[in-house]
Amino acid sequence: MSQTVLEEHASSPAAPGARPVRGNDFLYYGLRNKKLLFGLGLELLLILLAIIGPLISPHNTTDFYKLASPPSAQNWLGTDSFGHDIFAQLVVGLRESYLVGALSAICAAIAGMVLGFIAGWRGGVLDEALQFLTNVVVMIPALVLLVVIGSYLNTRSVMFEGVFIGLTTWPWVARAVRAQTFSLRSREFVDLAKLSGKRATSIVVKEIAPNMASYLFLAIILLFGSSMLLASSYDFLGLGPSNTVSLGIMMQQATLNSALFYHMWWWVFPPGMVLTAMVAALLVANVGLDEVFNPKLRER
């Protein structure tokens, strides 16, 4: 579904194992990169809104007000057809989106890195087997799996959604990590580390991982964004969390209750606009970071 965001960038070669630059240099270029500053700034603003929004919102998501009223002093973004305040829903939805994104990015990063390092480092039959596992996970119909697991649960929570998305999207990380480990493991400094009698785990952690740290970081940021989009798709299809509001659920409700035909633009525009801003800010910050990590990309 929204996997393309990640695929696109995972496929771009972020030259592994280059540039032993010190942290200060990153900071120097980072503070002078407009894309990074803009993306990060917008993202921080939205995160701030997600944190303090529920506190400053004068209403909560379950109270009832005048039905379908446009934005006013009382309801800042108006109300939906049930009389729920839209601003209150929006800020809670924002918070849930970040939660889902962060959770799934963490799960996918851990699973993908562990399996990717093992496959790339050991190679051979183990690599073959893990690649096979990766292909199978890609192939499993995530939607149906979600329905099946969901039917065993009394309530589907945000936690569940985040972990689920993480555990179905790790193959993209694993593939990238495996490929990079493959190209790094025959380098001289790795051979040297092997000769010095270091254990495999410490070589992977201390010699190989740092050389793809920037790449991994970027991949995880993209994963964060694409997970939020994927979650909004699940929510829109009615498979999202059942005990809270989310941006996807707002869009689903707007569609189901024909918000369009009643010209309720205040219900149609905000959820998607906020989500677009969240993901776009991540993408822009990501390009900025890419330029910071990678001197070749810096604007001349």
Partner 1 sequence: MHRFLIRKLITYMMAFVVGVTIDWGIPHLMPGDPVQTYLSQFRLQPAGYAALYSTMSQAFGTNMSALAQYLHYWKGMLTWDLGVSYTSFPTEVSTMIGQALPYTLALLVPAIVLSYILGNRLGAAAARRKLLDNSVLPLGYVFQAMPYAWVALILPYLFGVVWHVFPVSGGYDHSLLPSWNWTFIWSLITHWFLPFLSVFLISLGGWAIGMRNLVIYELENDASRYLRALGARERVIRRYAYRNASLPQLSGLALALGVVVGGNIVTEVAFQYPGLGHLLYQAIAGKDYFLLQGIFIFIIIGVLVANFIIDLVFITVDPRTRLSMQGAQA
If the CB atoms of residues 74 and 135 are measured against partner 1, the closer one turns out to be 135
- The verdict on 136 binding partner 1 (CB under 8 A) reads yes
Question: How far is the C-alpha of 30 from the C-alpha of 10, rounded, in Å?
Answer: 22
Query: Which two three-digit tokens encode residue 113?
Result: 């890195």
Q: In this chain, which of 252, 266, 292, 293 binds partner 1, going by CB under 8 A? A: 252
Minimum CB separation from partner 1 for residue 158, in Å? 17
Residue 79's beta-bridge partner residues?
85
Contact 88, 61 (CB under 8 A): yes
If the CB atoms of residues 199 and 300 are measured against partner 1, the closer one turns out to be 300
Judged by CB under 8 A, the chain residues 2 through 41 that form the site for partner 1 are 2, 4-5, 7-9, 11-13
If the CB atoms of residues 75 and 246 are measured against partner 1, the closer one turns out to be 246
If the CB atoms of residues 62 and 255 are measured against partner 1, the closer one turns out to be 255
If the CB atoms of residues 52 and 147 are measured against partner 1, the closer one turns out to be 147
Minimum CB separation from partner 1 for residue 120, in Å? 11
Question: How far is the C-alpha of 98 from the C-alpha of 281, rounded, in Å?
Answer: 13
Minimum CB separation from partner 1 for residue 8, in Å? 4
- The verdict on 188 binding partner 1 (CB under 8 A) reads no
Which one, of 100, 47, 4, lies nearest residue 278 by Cα? Answer: 47
Contact 80, 68 (CB under 8 A): yes
Contact 226, 2 (CB under 8 A): yes
Q: In this chain, which of 41, 70, 210, 238 binds partner 1, going by CB under 8 A? A: 238
Signed CA dihedral, 190, 193, 194, 200: sign only? negative
DSSP state of 188: H
Q: How many residues does the chain have?
A: 300
Signed CA dihedral, 145, 150, 156, 159: sign only? negative
Q: In this chain, which of 18, 67, 205, 260 binds partner 1, going by CB under 8 A? A: 260
Q: In this chain, which of 147, 159, 192, 200 binds partner 1, going by CB under 8 A? A: 147
If the CB atoms of residues 112 and 240 are measured against partner 1, the closer one turns out to be 240
Query: Which two three-digit tokens encode residue 152?
Result: 């065993």
Judged by CB under 8 A, the chain residues 266 through 295 that form the site for partner 1 are 268-269, 271-273, 275-280, 282-284, 287, 290
- The verdict on 154 binding partner 1 (CB under 8 A) reads no
Question: How far is the C-alpha of 281 from the C-alpha of 226, rounded, in Å?
Answer: 12
Question: How far is the C-alpha of 211 from the C-alpha of 20, rounded, in Å?
Answer: 9
Contact 207, 190 (CB under 8 A): yes
Question: How far is the C-alpha of 78 from the C-alpha of 38, rounded, in Å?
Answer: 29
Choices 16-24, 42-50, 146-154, 196-204 (CB under 8 A): range interacting with partner 1: 146-154
If the CB atoms of residues 87 and 172 are measured against partner 1, the closer one turns out to be 172
Contact 208, 184 (CB under 8 A): yes
Residues near partner 1, by CB under 8 A: 1-2, 4-5, 7-9, 11-13, 123, 128, 131-132, 135-136, 138-141, 143-145, 147-148, 151-152, 182, 225, 229, 232-233, 236-239, 247-248, 251-252, 254-255, 259-261, 263, 265, 268-269, 271-273, 275-280, 282-284, 287, 290, 296-297, 299-300
